[in-house]
A and B are shown apart, each in its own frame.
Chain A
Amino acid sequence: MDLGSEGREHHLSVAHRLGPDAILIDLPIGVSPRVLSQKLLDEQSNQLIEVVAGETTILIRFTDTSNLRIEDIFAMAELIYGKLPEPSGRTVEVPVKYDGPDLERVANSCNMDIEEVVRFHTEARYVVEFIGFAPGFGYLGGLNERLHLPRLPSPRKAVPRGSVAIADRFCSIYPSASPGGWNIIGETNLAMFDQNTDPPSLLRPGDEVLFKQCQ
Chain B
Amino acid sequence: MRSLSVIRAPKELLIEDLGRHGFGRYGVTEAGACDRGSLKLANRLVGNPESAPALEMLLGPAEFLCHDNLIFASTGAKLKLEVDGVQQPQNCAIYVKAGSKLEPSMPSRGVRSYLALHGGVFVEPVLGSSSYDTLGQIGPKPLRSGDLIEVGPPTTFVQSELAVAPVSELANHPTLRGWWGPRVSWFSANSVAKLQTISLRVTERANRVGVCLQGGDLVRTRDDELPPEGVLRGSIQVTPAGDTVLFLADHPVTGGYPTLGVLDTWSCDRAAQLRPGDILRLQLRQCCADASHGAIEIKQG
Contact = CB atoms under 8 A, between A and B. Distances in A.
A150 B127 contact: no
Interface in A58-101: 58-59, 61-62, 66-71, 74
Contacts of A170: 228
Given A133-B254, A154-B239, A195-B138, A15 B299 contact: yes
A179 interface: yes
Contacts, number: 192
B179 A19 contact: yes
A136 B241 CA distance: 27
A50 B31 CA distance: 13
B145 interface: no
A28 interface: no
A24 B178 CA distance: 16
Interface string A25-37: 0100000000001
Complex A-B, nearest 5 residue pairs according to Cβ-Cβ distance, in ascending order: A59-B230, A132-B254, A16-B182, A54-B229, A52-B230
Nearest to B256: A151
B228 A24 contact: no
Size range of the chain A interface in the assembly: 35 or more
Contacts of A22: 232, 262
Interface string B36-52: 00000000000000000
B256 A181 contact: yes
Interface of B: 21-30, 126-127, 133, 135-139, 178-179, 181-182, 185, 205, 209, 222, 225, 227-232, 234-235, 239-241, 243, 252-256, 259, 262-264, 287, 289, 291-300
Contacts of B298: 15-17
Interface string A108-136: 00000000000000000000001111111
A199 interface: yes
Nearest to B22: A50
Nearest to B230: A59
A139 B29 CA distance: 16
Interface in A175-205: 175-179, 181, 193, 195-196, 199-201
Interface of A: 5-7, 14-24, 26, 37, 41, 49-59, 61-62, 66-71, 74, 130-139, 150-151, 153-155, 157, 167-168, 170, 175-179, 181, 193, 195-196, 199-201
Nearest to B239: A154
B138 A133 contact: no
Contact of B255 (A15, A21, A133, A200): A133
Contacts of A71: 295
Nearest to A16: B182
B295 to A, nearest CB: 7
A137 B27 contact: yes
Contacts of A181: 239, 256
A58 B182 contact: no
Contact of A18 (B253, B262, B292): B262
Nearest to B254: A132
